[in-house]
């Protein structure tokens, strides 16, 4: 412990102060001259001894009688001193630095020398001090230093050397020349210049410094004390160094008395300061409480520590005994037990906590009761609590019931969902089947119509043309075979009128769509049926569009004519393994009640006659009939026909609207295995516009054209009406048109009429009359169509008939009169049909479609 903390002074400082004061006073004594002489003598003695000891070489830097400055300079390197000391006490300085080479890490010469001197001098001083000889300060070797102390040190060393040389026995008299000083310091033992001296001195000093010394004997403090003692020792020596021996006792007495006096004074003031400080501390409440708390805490901690130590001791002893007695399994058991104990403790803790909480609740209840004083309140609360618990129980039961109910419902719902899914699936399936059934129904209906021989009627609505105001259409609704037209009041009470047909195509129906419904009818030509498709409607309603296509013909826009022939080619190709088909076409027009050949290549537009085709199937035998094998052939022929029609149009202006055009396709098929031939004929007729003459308000040629058109169409209407009413007489001969179509309308043909209407409101009159006419046509029953088939038996009969006819002719003497020449059948080469076929009698009487002769159809007579 540092003494300065409690005592602001030390014995050392007291002695030091006294000595300094003493030094100041002694400066007043005038001993200067004597001192200088004595000092010089002593210096010479020291220098001489050094030279003698270290030798001439070693002491070359030191004159025999040096001045103070020379003396210091000579010894400054410390080399002479160290060497002299090593002579006296070998090994006292272990290493003497003789030259700068011994120090390699210092480049600067001055610094090197200084360091070198310092090392030597320091080592010398340490050694001398350890020997108990008087020392000096290293700074004494510098300029202005005290050479006297250096001289004292050397002479002491000399004295010791002398004593040692004398055998080292008995008393050693310090002070060099005994005659000079006459006072000796005696050592008690034989080795007076060992560490024991400094040790004794230190002990003495320590006893002197009793109050300030660390009682704990701290080595660090010992070291401090040793330094302090040494410096004090040196101070004392320096004070006494230049004193005569007889002066020393007096000085010591004086100095000690001063030291004691000073010490007592400082001790008294220090005690006073301590008292005051302690008093202040004792008066402070905070300090008192702090002290109390601290002491209490300390005690507590102490007790805790003690208990921990005891526990550890116990544990250790227990474990030790267990280790000795029990095996590892017992340790495991102990661990289990310990765990169990811990759990028990934890349980107890929880129980305690709950008990505490209960107590708290009880306390609060009691407090509440004490506060409120209604004793029955607690009972009420208990009742309420019981009720709530019952409610909770009920709720739980209800919840459980609901949960079970929900589960049952979920099962039910999932079942119902499954059933619903199945039901919807069935419904969807039924819906799809419904559409299929509808389609089948329609087909069946059409088949029924075919069996009845009814004329099929398809209605097609033309879309608004580019530039037309399409905001208002007369067509209200279209649904399968039904079309509803918005009519002005004069046409119907309701303002709407519906018409039923076999099929109705809306304005956006495509050419392909239209044809697909026509295809089965067309295909029946290859099976030997006669087919007639004619387009009816007012001008501009789309007849040509349906039958041929738009003016700018594209593949998609191709009409029924092209598609029909194409389909026949396709089908004949498919049947080529069993049938051989020959397809040829005629193209005619009926203009102003004249039949013209549109495939004429000679430019002669001669009038053609229409004959009843009961024998060779050709209604207009004089018209060019051209075999075709591909669509390209058909297109070429159609173009030719259009060109011929256009030539006429140049003169008559817009001829197409004022003539009926007819493309007749002849098909003859031979069954490869049986040789049976079948023959079919198809008329594809694009009628002239059906508008009325009065509306057209035309005159001249136009009037004539219109009149002829009206006549032919009226004739068509009459025939239709007659057929519809199943009259015995059908007026086919009233027009070229009805004559041409006689086989189709009154024979065993399958007939289809495309009735076209325009959507414009200003055409409503024509639209209504067109639809009425079409409705009438739809009611016509032609009877079941028949196949034009030439079987082997039929051929036989034909031959019999021919033979009978020939025999009849011979009998009557007019041979060949009734013989029918066989007209050339359609061939691969363009031919002119023979003109020998008479036009059948269509004036009446023979119009019964079921005439036996007609039943044989187009049987060729040999």
Checking 251-254 for CB contacts under 8 A at 24+ apart, the result is 251/22, 254/22
The pattern of x and - marking residues 738 through 767 that bind ligand ATP according to CB under 6 A reads: ------------------x-----------
Q: Which stretch binds ligand ATP (CB under 6 A): 119-127, 148-156, 534-542, 812-820?
A: 534-542
Burial of 757 (0-12, 13-18, 19+ CB in 10 A): buried
Q: Which is nearer to ligand ATP, 138 or 649 (CB)?
A: 649
Asked if residue 175 binds ligand ATP (CB under 6 A), the reply is no
Q: Is 738 left (phi over 0), alpha (psi -120 to 50) or beta?
A: alpha
Q: Could you tell me which residues come within 8 angstroms of residue 571 by beta carbon, excluding any fewer than 6 positions away?
A: 523, 526
Smallest distance from the beta carbon of 459 to ligand ATP, in angstroms?
12
Report if residue 539 touches ligand ATP, rule: CB under 6 A. yes
# of chain residues touching ligand ATP (CB under 6 A): 16
Alpha-carbon span 513 to 4, nearest angstrom: 126
Minimal distance, residue 438 CB to ligand ATP, in Å? 25
Q: Quick check: 506 binds ligand ATP (CB under 6 A)?
A: no
- Provide the token pair at 586: 């005629």
Nearest approach, Cβ of 754 to ligand ATP (angstroms)?
10
Within 658-717, which residues bind ligand ATP (CB under 6 A)? 689
> Which residues, 6 or more positions from 57, have their beta carbon under 8 angstroms from its beta carbon?
none
Distance, CA of 780 to chain centre:
72
Nearer to ligand ATP, 58 or 507 (CB): 507
Least Cβ distance, residue 656 to ligand ATP (angstroms): 5
Q: Which residue, 599, 600, 531, is CA-closest to 564?
A: 531
Which of 543, 645, 660, 736 touches ligand ATP (CB under 6 A)?
543
Instruction: Using CB under 6 A, pick the residue from 48, 58, 63, 550 that binds ligand ATP.
Output: 550
538 is in an annotated binding site: yes
540 in contact with ligand ATP (CB under 6 A): yes
Q: Which is nearer to ligand ATP, 518 or 544 (CB)?
A: 544
Shorter beta-carbon distance to ligand ATP: residue 758 or 842: 758
For the bound state, the minimum distance from the C-beta of residue 620 to ligand ATP, rounded and expressed in Å, comes to 21
> Residue ranges of the alpha helices (H) in 524-630?
543-547, 560-574
Report in angstroms how near the CB of residue 509 gets to ligand ATP at its nearest: 7
To ligand ATP, the closest distance from the beta carbon of 599 in angstroms equals 20
Write down the least CB distance from residue 550 to ligand ATP, Å. 4
Write down the least CB distance from residue 801 to ligand ATP, Å: 45
Q: How many CB atoms lie within 10 A of CB 856?
A: 19
Residue 343 CA to residue 337 CA, distance in Å, equals 10
Q: Which is nearer to ligand ATP, 47 or 716 (CB)?
A: 716
Q: Which is nearer to ligand ATP, 503 or 543 (CB)?
A: 543
542 binding ligand ATP? (CB under 6 A): yes
3-state secondary structure (DSSP) of residue 435: helix
544 is in an annotated binding site: yes
When CB distances to ligand ATP are compared, the closest residue is: 542
Cβ proximity to ligand ATP: between 153 and 504 the closer is 504
* Ranges assigned E (strand) in 628-676: 659-671
Q: Is residue 530 part of the contact set for ligand ATP (CB under 6 A)?
A: no
Binding residue for ligand ATP (CB under 6 A) from 77, 544, 712, 767?
544
The reply to whether 783 sits in an annotated binding site is: no
Residue 551 beta carbon to ligand ATP: minimum distance, rounded to whole angstroms: 6
- Alpha-carbon distance of 61 to 72, in angstroms, equals 10
User: Nearest to residue 849, comparing CAs of 691, 729, 684?
Assistant: 729
The helix (H) or strand (E) run that includes residue 781 is none
User: Is residue 542 part of an annotated ligand binding site?
Assistant: yes
Report 434-493 residues binding ligand ATP (CB under 6 A). 462-463, 465
The reply on whether position 537 binds ligand ATP by CB under 6 A is yes
Q: Minimum Å distance from CB 761 to ligand ATP?
A: 17
Q: Quote the longest CA-to-CA distance of the chain.
A: 219
CA separation, residue 430 to residues 230, 424, 438, 445, 598 (Å):
128, 9, 12, 21, 53
**Burial 761-800, CB ≥16 within 10 A → b, else e:** eebbbbbbebbebbebbbebebeebbebbbeeeebeebee
Judge whether 540 is annotated as a binding position: yes
Residues 329-358 that bind ligand ATP (CB under 6 A): none
Stretch that binds ligand ATP, among 115-123, 128-136, 539-547, 643-651 (CB under 6 A): 539-547
Query: Which range in 259-267, 289-297, 394-402, 542-550 contacts ligand ATP by CB under 6 A?
Result: 542-550
**Residue of 827, 835, 837 whose CA lies nearest to 626:** 827
- Residue 453 or 540: the one with the smaller Cβ distance to ligand ATP is 540
Residue 657 Cβ vs ligand ATP, minimum distance, rounded to whole Å: 3
Rounded (10°) CA dihedral 575, 579, 580, 584:
-70
Stretch that binds ligand ATP, among 58-66, 360-368, 519-527, 541-549 (CB under 6 A): 541-549
The distance from CA 484 to its chain's CA centroid, rounded to whole angstroms, is 57
Residue with token string 């034989």: 190
Query: Within 10 A of 70 (CB to CB), how many other CB atoms are there?
Result: 16
Q: Strand, helix or coil at 583?
A: strand
Please provide the distance, in angstroms rounded to a whole number, between the alpha carbons at the two ends of the chain: 162
Residue from the set 592, 657, 707, 727 that interacts with ligand ATP by CB under 6 A: 657
* Interface positions with ligand ATP (CB under 6 A): 462-463, 465, 537, 539-545, 550, 656-657, 689, 756
Binding-site residue positions: 537-544
Binding-site residue positions for ATP: 537-544
């Amino acid at each position: 412990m540092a003494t300065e903390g409690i005592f602001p002074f030390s014995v050392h400082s007291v002695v030091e102060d006294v000595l300094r004061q003493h030094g100041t006073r002694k400066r007043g004594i005038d001993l200067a001259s004597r001192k200088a002489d004595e000092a010089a003598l002593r210096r010479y003695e020291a220098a001489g001894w050094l030279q003698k000891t270290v030798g001439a070489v070693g002491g070359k830097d030191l004159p025999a009688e040096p001045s103070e400055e020379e003396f210091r300079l000579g010894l400054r390197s410390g080399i002479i001193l160290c060497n002299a000391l090593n002579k006296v006490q070998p090994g006292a300085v272990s290493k003497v630095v003789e030259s700068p080479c011994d120090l390699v890490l210092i480049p600067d010469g001055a610094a090197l020398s200084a360091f070198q001197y310092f090392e030597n001098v320091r080592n010398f001083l340490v050694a001398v001090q350890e020997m108990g000889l008087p020392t000096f300060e290293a700074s004494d070797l510098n300029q202005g230093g005290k050479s006297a102390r250096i001289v004292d040190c050397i002479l002491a060393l000399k004295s010791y050397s002398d004593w040692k040389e004398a055998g080292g026995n008995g008393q050693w008299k310090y002070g060099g020349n005994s005659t000079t000083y006459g006072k000796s310091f005696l050592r008690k033992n034989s080795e007076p210049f060992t560490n024991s001296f400094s040790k004794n001195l230190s002990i003495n000093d320590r006893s002197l410094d009793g109050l300030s010394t660390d009682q704990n004997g701290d080595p660090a403090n010992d070291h401090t004390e040793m330094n302090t003692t040494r410096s004090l020792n040196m101070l004392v020596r320096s004070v006494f160094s230049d004193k005569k021996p007889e002066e020393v006792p007096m000085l010591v007495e004086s100095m000690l008395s001063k030291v004691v006096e000073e010490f007592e004074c400082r001790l008294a003031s220090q005690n006073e300061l301590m008292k005051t400080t302690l008093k202040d501390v004792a008066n402070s409440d905070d300090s008192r409480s702090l002290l109390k708390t601290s002491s209490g805490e300390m005690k507590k901690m102490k007790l805790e520590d003690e208990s921990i130590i005891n526990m550890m001791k116990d544990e250790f002893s227990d474990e030790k005994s267990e280790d000795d007695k029990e095996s590892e399994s017992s340790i495991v058991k102990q661990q289990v037990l310990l765990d169990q104990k811990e759990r028990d403790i934890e349980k107890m803790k929880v129980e305690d906590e709950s008990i505490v909480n209960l107590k708290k609740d009880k306390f609060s209840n009691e407090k509440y009761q004490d506060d409120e004083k209604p004793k029955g309140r607690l009972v009420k609360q208990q009742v309420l609590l019981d009720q709530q618990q019952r409610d909770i129980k009920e709720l739980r039961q209800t919840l459980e019931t609901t949960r079970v109910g929900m589960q049952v419902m979920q099962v039910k719902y999932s079942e119902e969902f499954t059933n619903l899914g199945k039901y919807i699936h069935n419904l969807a399936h039924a819906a799809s089947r419904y559409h299929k059934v509808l389609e089948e129904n329609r087909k069946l209906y059409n088949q029924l119509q075919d069996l009845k021989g009814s004329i099929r009627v398809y209605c097609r609505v033309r879309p608004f043309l580019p530039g037309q105001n399409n905001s208002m259409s007369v067509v209200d609704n279209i649904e399968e075979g039904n079309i509803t037209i918005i009519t002005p009041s004069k046409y119907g009470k309701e303002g709407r009128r519906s018409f039923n047909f076999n099929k109705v195509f809306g304005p956006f129906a495509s050419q392909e769509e239209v044809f697909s419904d026509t295809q089965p009818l067309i295909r029946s030509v290859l099976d030997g049926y006669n087919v007639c498709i004619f387009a009816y409607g007012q001008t501009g309603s789309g007849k040509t569009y349906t039958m041929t296509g738009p003016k700018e013909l594209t593949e998609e826009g191709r009409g029924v004519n092209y598609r029909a022939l194409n389909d026949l080619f396709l089908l004949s190709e498919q049947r080529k393994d069993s049938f051989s088909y020959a397809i040829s076409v005629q193209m005619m027009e009926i203009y102003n009640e004249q039949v013209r050949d549109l495939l004429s290549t000679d430019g002669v537009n001669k009038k053609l006659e229409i004959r009843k085709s009961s024998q060779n199937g050709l209604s207009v035998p004089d018209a060019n009939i051209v075999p075709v094998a591909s669509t390209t052939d058909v297109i070429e022929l159609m173009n030719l026909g259009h060109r011929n029609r256009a030539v006429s149009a140049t003169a008559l202006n817009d001829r197409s609207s004022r003539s009926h055009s007819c493309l007749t396709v002849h098909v003859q098929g031979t069954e490869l295995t049986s040789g049976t031939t079948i023959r079919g004929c198809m008329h594809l007729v694009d009628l002239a516009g059906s508008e009325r003459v009065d509306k057209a308000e035309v005159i001249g040629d136009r009037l004539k054209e219109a009149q002829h058109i009206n006549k032919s169409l009226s004739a068509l209407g009459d025939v239709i009406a007659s057929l519809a009413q199943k009259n015995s007489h059908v007026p086919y001969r009233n027009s070229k048109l009805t004559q041409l179509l006689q086989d189709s309308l009154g024979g065993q043909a399958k007939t289809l009429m495309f009735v076209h209407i325009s959507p414009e409101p200003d055409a409503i009159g024509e639209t209504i009359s067109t639809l009425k006419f079409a409705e009438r046509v739809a009611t016509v029953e032609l009877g079941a169509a028949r196949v034009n088939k030439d079987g082997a038996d039929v051929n036989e009969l034909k031959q019999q008939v021919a033979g009978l006819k020939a025999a009849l002719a011979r009998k009557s003497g007019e041979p060949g009169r009734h013989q029918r020449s066989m007209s050339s059948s359609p061939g691969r080469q363009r031919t002119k049909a023979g003109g020998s076929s008479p036009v059948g009698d269509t004036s009446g009487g023979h119009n019964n479609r079921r005439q036996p002769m007609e039943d044989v159809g187009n049987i060729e007579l040999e």
